[in-house]
Every structure is written in structure tokens, then in C-alpha cells.
A and B are shown apart, each in its own frame.
Chain A
Amino acid sequence: MKRYTFLIFFLLIISAEICKGQTQIRGYLLDSVSLHPVINASIIVKSDNTFTITDSTGYFSINVNRFPETIQISHVAYNQFEYVFKEVPESAFTIYLSTKDEQLETVVFVYNREKENEQPLKKIDWGISEIQKLSSGIGGIDIIRSLQTQPGIQKSSEINASLNVRGSGHGSNKISLNGITIFNSYHLLGIAPMFNSDVINNITLYKSGFPTDKDGYLSSFLDVELRKPSSDEKNIRFELGNLTTKFLYESPLVKDKVSVLFTARYAFFDLYGNIYKKINEKKKDFVPLPKYKFYDGNLIVNAKLPKNYNLFFSFFSNSDNFLYSPSTLDLKCKWTNNLGSVSISKMFSDNLFFRLNSGITQYSFNGEYNPSSIINRKNNITGIENQVYISYKTIYKIDIKAGAFINSGKYYLKNEEKYSYYSLRQASFNVNSYCFGVFADADWKLSNHFSLLGGSRLNFYYPWRKKVYSSPRIQLTYKGKPAGINISFDQTWQFNNLIAPLGFNIPADLWLPADKDIPPQQARQIAFHLTQSIKFFETYLGVFYKEMKNQAELKDGAEIIEIAPAQEITFGSGKAYGIEASLIYRKSPLDIELYYTYSKSIRKFEEINNGKSFAPVYDVPHKLDILLSVDITKNISSGVSWFWSSGPITTMPTGYIFINHGSETNPYPVYTERNNFRMPDTHRLDVSVTFSKTHKWGGSQLTLGLYNVYNQTNAYFLYFKLEENEREETTVIPQQLGIFPFVPFFSYMVKFKL
């Protein structure tokens, strides 16, 4: 089967090459202001009037017989534009069109690898076109899963949907939607993508070299920027997959001035649970599948105000429900996120930009666990965040960025153990926290190749001791052809802790704010990055070292029910270091990407493992990702991804003791040390094919895929089974649990133009 599959893939590549008798020019048309794709723009080859139009992503490709050749681009809303191609472009390029109202010059950005060196890879930056080309998984395009393939970003197990960046836990990453923090928008086991990719315009992930407007978290900053609704046409989009369904509507309210976008997404995993139950419920020892469903939605309004101000409003809401009731226990959880943000911005001149960002975020978790007594947990967080940001380019080759912020957070926790009508034990807290301050940095171009950036952020935090938490940042950058180098130093503070004892994120993980008993976390990181581009190849090498203070872990045997949570937590230090490398080949129609990370993470706590250093659950030393994508034809594209990584860390018993309970004697595992065992390595192969078609009424897209092609069982849990033989000897046999076997998936999307 494996050989047959390889042969088909090989034939696909060959046939794509054979078809390429003429030369193809491929590119994207985007709006120069909104960066929104320009759809249905006409592209004409002037010499022979060969004609095509852009698709829903602004993409086009057209055959050209000779060079130099003039391409004419026209659209009813934009200035007509002509460009002379003197030779075949090495890969896809982007053209930013200006509307007839704007007097901006149309810009052509030729995708040139040398231009990548202007920003050595300290961050990951994906625009709308890159996002749409990401491989589609079971639940659709998943930005978090795609980020997990990148160097420096690990995942601690197959069922971990979160990011572990450079040796830190997932609670150390700030994920923000249009500048406002979102606390826990993961869906169960990462089965479905965190966000609906249809509304995302851009994502940026900083691993180091943090700008001074980024702080409050230790490890990384993931900015998810929502896209502006179309200002000139109405669109309706509907998508159905085997796990989720999506709907999108966007329309101008006042043409070219005010526009609105609404999306809704719903997951119906419980449908499969019901089918499974109907087929199997009469079987002996039947255990029902868990019931799980979620929905989310976005509302976006964009308005061009007088005097060139722009107003952007967005509202996001999601809700997840989980229920599992086999005979021995009852587990119910519900978690929700609600987030509203407003942003007002203005470009005063080519040199001066202003933005005011304000928003409210609210996260709520309510869970009940009932093995014998009922354990109930409620954890709510409400945050208000405000930031003013100004950037100014001086005439002295110094770019200055500065601003101020005021944030507040209200954390509520209540844990209760009940039995029948009794509240046996409970712990609760209600803490208001405030963080405010200023930030500024200056980027000084020392020469054509060297620049030096220095700055700091000053944080004032309550409730903690009255002191200033400063976050200095320094960067030295060399931009050359074909290489670029960046060296950075960052200090960051985090004023809350996510207590996540398992190896994967679950909604019951506990957010605790810093207060008199819980000190703020601190990290210092030095990083070095080198990038190089030669012809069709791009290479990257990164090295980092990070030290962390005031890391929080649960004490051995901790029960966050009876007494205040701070008394169940112990504090220690951590460090992480690693090497990241990537090799990318891009030559139309094929892209091949290889990413490798070596990363070591160490923690040391006096009260854990007798003060001996140990690896945290998200320590994954080795990770290798190989991604292939090929545009087979203009309307058919394919993606293949394979990864291999070290197994996750877990805690295994070092022995068994027998304890007599009346008429039976049971063996009980003896745990002596935390995180003392590494599970087997994990690896998996996924493939997908996407068929796109443009119709008079809009467009459609069908994606077919195979998840876990060779049905690899990647362990997320190890346990021991004890079996008695005929001689009544008890033998211990290790067993493992994996999560997803081979799964075919599909999604079908239709888009209507009104």
C-alpha cells in the first residue's frame, strides 16, 4: 500500500511538470490598504489577449509564451495597472492595488528570497495567502497545528492542541485576537481549529526579539489579526466537513465606507457518539463515547471615519460542552470565551502612525466531576485591556515606537467538594489585579547593513509589592545579501500562572493571578538567528538560551479544594536552550519545507523530586517536520506533512504494593518521582488534496484528506495491566493509549456572490 501511494504521488509531480510546456506567471492581488484579496480582477497578456481572473484568495496564474511581456490588470474598483515582466518570476508574487479613491502608487512585491533577509526569522508572519495555503486537517485549516510544525515550537503530546515555545508551557504564550488576550479558546484535544481561518487576515508569532508593546507573558506572543469585511461586494460562504460546519456572510453597509462580516461555526462530534451508541449499546460491557460539541462566531464591523481615521470593531464568542457518563463516573464541563475589541487608527503622514486599542475579554469554566463525591470547579477571568501606540520615523534614521497601557483582570475561582447535600470542602478566591505602564523603543539604522534596537517596557502591577517591573529589549541586526543575522536579548514578566499538571492542555487548567503569595514570573532570553537565501533555497539557523524564575507547579499530592490554591503550589526555577534549523525549497509549483528543533527544558523545585532537576511535561528534545505542497494545476493543489518527535514525558510507577481490602488484595502503583519516564517517539503522515472551482455565482472548494495514513499509534498515556496466570502469578504488562487512528476527512465549501 505504501509503494502504491508513493507511485501515485510521484506520477502527480511528473504530470505537473509535463503540463508546464508554456511558462506560467502566478501571483496574488491584494488591496493596498486593507490587504484584502482583490477578487475577479481581470488579467490580460497584452501580446495575445490570453485572459484569466483572480479567485477568492486574489490568486491567479496565466500562461505566457515569451519575455519580456506586458500584463494588464483591471478591476472596476481599482486603478488599471500594467507591468512588464522581463523574465520568468522565480515564484509567486504579490501586487498591492490602489482604489480609484486613493492616490497611492501601486506596488509590486516580487517574492524574492533576498528580501526575506530584511527580517531574519525571529518571528513567524503569515498573511492571508499563506494561511489559505496551509494544509487542511480533520477540522479544517488549523493555525495552531500548523505553527506546531515550525522550528522552536513543540507539542507535548498528540492530544495537545497548544503551543510550547522554546521550552515553556502553554500558559506562557499570549494569544490575542486583534490585540486583546484570549485565555483558553482551545477545543477538546485540538480536534478542531481554535479559530475560524475564514476571518483571519494575518498571524504573527514572536519567539524572541519582542517589541516593547509585547509583555505580560514569558515565552511568545501570537497576534491573530482579523480581516476587514469586503467594502464593495456581498459574499455568502457555507462549508460542511465531517466534523464541523461553517457559515460566513459579509457585506458593505455603506459602500466603501462601512462593512460588516458575520461567521458561525458548529462542531457535531456528538453525532458520531449517537451513531456509535445505536450500533453498540446492546453489546456486553458497552461504554458510551463522550458527548462533545462547540460553536463559535465572529462579528466584525469596519468603518472609514472622517479625517482618515479607521474604526475596527470585532466580537468573538465560543462555547464548548463536554459530557462523559460511563457507569463509574460523571464528568461535565462547559467553557466559554467572549471577547470584544475596538481599534481606532490613523496614518497622519508617511512617518507618523497612531492606534488606540481597547477591549474586554471574558473566560469562564464550569466543571463537575462525580466519581463518588461531587467536585465542582468554577474559574472565571474578566479582563479589560487598553493600549495607545504611536510609531514615528525620524529624519535621523531612527524609528521610534512608544505607548502606554492600562489593563485590569478579575480572577474568580471556586472549588467545592459536595456529598449529597453537604458542602464538605471548598476554597475560593476573588482577586482584582491591575497592570499599567509605558513602553518605548528606538530602532537606529547604523549603516546600510546594521541596525541597533533598544528599548524597555515599565510595568506597574497590583497586588504585589510596589515596584517597577522593567522589561529591557536589545537587538542587533545585520541585513545583507544573501545572509541576515539577528541577536537579541529580552526580559519579560508574567503576572499570572496557568497551573496545568497534565501533559496536555485541558479547560480545567487553573489560571491564578500574581498576588502576595504568588510572585510574578520572570524570563530572560538570549537568541541568535541566521538566515540565508540562495536561488530556490532558504536556510535558517537559530540558537536560544532562556532562564526563568518563579515557575509554579502543584505540590505532590496537592488538592486544590480544601485550602487556598496558593498553599498547594510550590515555586522553582527553569531554564531552556536549543537549536532550530530549517531548509526550504520553493520553485513553482512545488514547495518543500524541512524544520528541525532540538530543545531542552529543565525545572528545579526544592519540594519536588527532593530538589533534583527534572524535565517538565512539555520537554520534547527532538522534532522534525517535513511539509510538501504542490499546485498540480490551477485548480488542484495537494499537501503532504510528516512529523517525528521525541515522546512526551510522563510519570510512571517504580513498583507495586499489595494492599489487603477485606476479601481481596489489590496491587497499587507506587510513584516515587515526577516525570521520570519518556514515552515512545511519535510520528504521523497526513495528506490532502484540494479542488477549487470558480462558477458564475461564486466558487466551490472540495478538500479530501487522510489523517494518520499508516495508522500509527502515538501514545498519550501509558499504564500497566496486571494479569494472573493459571499458577496465580501476577504479571505486570505495559500498555499504551493512542488517540486518532487512520481517519479520512473531507470538507466542501461553496461561496456565493450577491
Chain B
Amino acid sequence: MQGPVVYDLIWNASVKVICNEDTVRLRNIIYTDNISDYLYNYRNDELANFTSKYKLQIVTSTFDTIIAETDNIPDVNIDSLRISNSFINIFTANTDNANNNYYLVRLINFSEENKSKKQLIFNCSGLSSGRVKIDFPFEKDNSTDSVYVNLYRINKEAFNYHTSLEKAYAANHDPFTIPCLIEGNISNGLGIFTCCSLDTCILKF
């Protein structure tokens, strides 16, 4: 395998999300999210939140069909933040369902001298429901006066997807990492269709 690799966005696909009896079609809008900097090319803000399950259906202009399904996920709240030694301690609460006790934490430093983003995922499914503390490694420098802390609650499928991405990437650089398939829940495709809930706090120093 040698040659150029092309990153190609799909346009003109029919992208629908079905929740309860409703079907919502996502519009083809390309944009970058201000906070996460993620690139999106389909969006709709009218999705219902009072449903237990979402289904995804994508049909491309060449009639390739992709389907997926995911469960809704409870809200997440950052109860408090604290700095201790070389960590930012994030206090939140686990749910009763262990499948929803996975977290993705993104730390964004907007200072001009040290603009950076760092992201880690955490598996707290082994901990009981109730208050949990997540320790995010952080080294403060003199130019930083505040950081944005984004706490996402993700499900087990999304967690497995992220870890498999890390392993697949590492397997191409490290002979001691076993190559692994990228996990996902897309039928007829690679990737992940999942819900997450988000809470954001600003930590000022």
C-alpha cells in the first residue's frame, strides 16, 4: 500500500435521525465548532432529548446505506473543580448504569503564549454510583490565567471506539502494541454513532 491518501467529505447524502416516532433530517452545513474545533458537515438542533434511543440512517448519492443505533445518555454536571499538585480534580457523579460511567475530558488553554488542547478518556465504570473524582494531569505555567474544562459523559461504545483508535495508531508506531480493529457501531461503515452530554467550566487561577 503506497500512494496518496485523500480525505474526502461526503456531500448530498440523506442523513436522518429517528427518535421515537419522529424522523429528523440533518442539514448539510459545514462548520467548525467554536469550543471543540471539531469539523461538522451535517447538523440539526431540533433533536428530541426525551427519548431512550436514537437511530441513524445515511443514504449517499450512490445509494450506499449506513445504519446505526445508540442509547440516549444522562446529563453530566461538573460539581466542582480544584487544583491539587499536578492535577485538576474534577468532581462529578456516576450514574446507576455502569455503561454510562465513562468520561472524556478536554482541557483548553486559550492563553496567547501557551494555546493548547489536551484530551483524555476515563473509565469509571468500575466505581459505584455517586460522587467520583477525575484527576486530569495539568502543569500550570505563569502565562495561563484560566482554562476551559469540558466534561463529556460518554457510553461504553464511545469509550471503546476512542481506545481502539489510540491502539490502532500506536500499533503503527510501536512493535509492542497489538494491532486492533477500530471498534464502532456502524453497520456497513467504520466509526461511531453515539450520544454524549457536556458540561463546561472555566477554571481561573
Give the chain B neighbours of A669 by CB distance below 8 A: 168-169, 171-172, 179
Which residues of chain B in 144-174 are interfacial with respect to chain A, using CB atoms and an 8 Å cutoff?
160, 164-165, 168-173
State how many angstroms separate the Cβ of B32 from the closest Cβ of chain A.
8
Which residues of chain A in 507-561 are interfacial with respect to chain B, using CB atoms and an 8 Å cutoff?
554, 556-557
Q: Quick one: closest B residue to A425, CB to CB?
A: B126
A5: Cβ under 8 A from any B Cβ: no
Give the chain A neighbours of B179 by CB distance below 8 A: 651, 653, 669, 671, 674
CA distance A123 to B171 in the complex (A): 39
State how many angstroms separate the Cβ of B111 from the closest Cβ of chain A.
16
Return the CB mask of B122-135 against A: 1 if under 8 Å, else 0.
11111100000001
Q: Would A734 and B135 count as touching, CB distance under 8 A?
A: no
Q: Would B3 and A731 count as touching, CB distance under 8 A?
A: yes
A18: Cβ under 8 A from any B Cβ: no
Q: Would B175 and A671 count as touching, CB distance under 8 A?
A: no
State how many angstroms separate the Cβ of B78 from the closest Cβ of chain A.
17
B180: Cβ under 8 A from any A Cβ: yes
Give the chain B neighbours of A732 by CB distance below 8 A: 1-5
Q: Would B172 and A720 count as touching, CB distance under 8 A?
A: yes
B205: Cβ under 8 A from any A Cβ: no
B50: Cβ under 8 A from any A Cβ: no
Q: Would B172 and A719 count as touching, CB distance under 8 A?
A: yes
Which residues of chain B in 1-20 are interfacial with respect to chain A, using CB atoms and an 8 Å cutoff?
1-7
Q: A424-B126, A717-B175, A734-B1 are in contact. Are A662 and B180 (CB under 8 A)?
A: no
CA distance A103 to B38 in the complex (A): 90
Q: Would A502 and B175 count as touching, CB distance under 8 A?
A: yes
Q: Would B38 and A660 count as touching, CB distance under 8 A?
A: yes
CA distance A506 to B175 in the complex (A): 12
B182: Cβ under 8 A from any A Cβ: yes
State how many angstroms separate the Cβ of A326 from the closest Cβ of chain B.
11
Q: Would A662 and B168 count as touching, CB distance under 8 A?
A: no
B71: Cβ under 8 A from any A Cβ: no
CA distance A667 to B168 in the complex (A): 10
Q: A557-B164, A663-B37 are in contact. Are A731 and B1 (CB under 8 A)?
A: no
Q: A502-B178, A506-B176 are in contact. Are A557 and B183 (CB under 8 A)?
A: yes
Q: A655-B1, A671-B179, A730-B5 are in contact. Are A419 and B172 (CB under 8 A)?
A: no
Q: Quick one: closest A residue to B180, CB to CB?
A: A557
Q: Quick one: closest A residue to B167, CB to CB?
A: A557
Interface size class of B (residues with CB under 8 A): 35 or more
With a 10 A CB-CB cut-off, give which of B7, B172, B183 has the most chain A CB atoms.
B172
State how many angstroms separate the Cβ of A343 from the closest Cβ of chain B.
39
Which residues of chain A in 652-687 are interfacial with respect to chain B, using CB atoms and an 8 Å cutoff?
652-663, 665-672, 674
CA distance A667 to B175 in the complex (A): 19
Q: A659-B165, A662-B117 are in contact. Are A671 and B122 (CB under 8 A)?
A: no
Q: Would B117 and A663 count as touching, CB distance under 8 A?
A: yes
CA distance A425 to B120 in the complex (A): 17
CA distance A156 to B199 in the complex (A): 50
A423: Cβ under 8 A from any B Cβ: yes
Give the chain B neighbours of A554 by CB distance below 8 A: 178
Give the chain A neighbours of B125 by CB distance below 8 A: 425
State how many angstroms separate the Cβ of B137 from the closest Cβ of chain A.
8
Q: Would B38 and A662 count as touching, CB distance under 8 A?
A: yes
Give the chain A neighbours of B175 by CB distance below 8 A: 502, 716-717, 737
CA distance A562 to B159 in the complex (A): 14
CA distance A654 to B168 in the complex (A): 12
Q: Quick one: closest A residue to B108, CB to CB?
A: A662
Q: A422-B127, A668-B182, A671-B179 are in contact. Are A720 and B1 (CB under 8 A)?
A: yes
Return the CB mask of B31-47 against A: 1 if under 8 Å, else 0.
00000111100000000
Give the chain B neighbours of A674 by CB distance below 8 A: 179
Cβ-neighbour of A666 out of B1, B2, B169, B176 (below 8 A): B169
CA distance A159 to B179 in the complex (A): 19
CA distance A658 to B9 in the complex (A): 10
Q: Would B127 and A653 count as touching, CB distance under 8 A?
A: no
Give the chain A neighbours of B48 by CB distance below 8 A: none
CA distance A45 to B13 in the complex (A): 98
Give the chain A neighbours of B176 by CB distance below 8 A: 502, 506
Give the chain A neighbours of B138 by CB distance below 8 A: none
State how many angstroms separate the Cβ of B92 from the closest Cβ of chain A.
14
CA distance A717 to B119 in the complex (A): 29
Give the chain A neighbours of B170 by CB distance below 8 A: 371
Which residues of chain B in 69-117 are interfacial with respect to chain A, using CB atoms and an 8 Å cutoff?
87, 117
Give the chain B neighbours of A659 by CB distance below 8 A: 165
CA distance A323 to B39 in the complex (A): 40
Give the chain B neighbours of A501 by CB distance below 8 A: 178
Q: Would A671 and B4 count as touching, CB distance under 8 A?
A: no
B181: Cβ under 8 A from any A Cβ: yes
A722: Cβ under 8 A from any B Cβ: yes
With a 10 A CB-CB cut-off, give which of B117, B126, B160, B175 has the most chain A CB atoms.
B175
CA distance A426 to B123 in the complex (A): 12
Give the chain A neighbours of B37 by CB distance below 8 A: 662-663
State how many angstroms separate the Cβ of B2 from the closest Cβ of chain A.
6
Give the chain B neighbours of A422 by CB distance below 8 A: 124, 127, 135
State how many angstroms separate the Cβ of A121 from the closest Cβ of chain B.
35
A729: Cβ under 8 A from any B Cβ: yes
B29: Cβ under 8 A from any A Cβ: no
Q: Would B123 and A658 count as touching, CB distance under 8 A?
A: no
With a 10 A CB-CB cut-off, give which of B39, B117, B179, B183 has the most chain A CB atoms.
B179
Q: Would B4 and A730 count as touching, CB distance under 8 A?
A: yes
Q: Would A425 and B39 count as touching, CB distance under 8 A?
A: no
State how many angstroms separate the Cβ of B71 from the closest Cβ of chain A.
20
CA distance A674 to B181 in the complex (A): 9
CA distance A719 to B168 in the complex (A): 11
Give the chain B neighbours of A655 by CB distance below 8 A: 1
CA distance A661 to B6 in the complex (A): 17
Give the chain A neighbours of B202 by CB distance below 8 A: none
CA distance A423 to B190 in the complex (A): 32
CA distance A730 to B6 in the complex (A): 7
CA distance A677 to B147 in the complex (A): 46
A308: Cβ under 8 A from any B Cβ: no
Given A424-B123, A425-B123, A501-B178, output 11 extra A-B contacts at Cβ < 8 Å: A419-B135, A420-B135, A422-B124, A426-B126, A502-B178, A557-B180, A652-B1, A669-B168, A720-B1, A720-B172, A731-B4
Which 7 pairs show the lowest CB-CB distances between chains A and B? Answer: A662-B37, A717-B175, A420-B135, A658-B7, A663-B37, A651-B179, A671-B179
Provide 29 A-B residue pairs closer than 8 Å at the C-beta atoms, listed in order of the A residue.
A371-B170, A419-B122, A422-B127, A423-B126, A424-B127, A425-B126, A501-B178, A556-B181, A653-B1, A653-B172, A654-B1, A655-B1, A657-B190, A658-B5, A658-B7, A661-B119, A663-B37, A665-B39, A667-B5, A668-B182, A670-B190, A671-B179, A719-B172, A729-B4, A730-B4, A730-B5, A730-B7, A731-B4, A732-B5
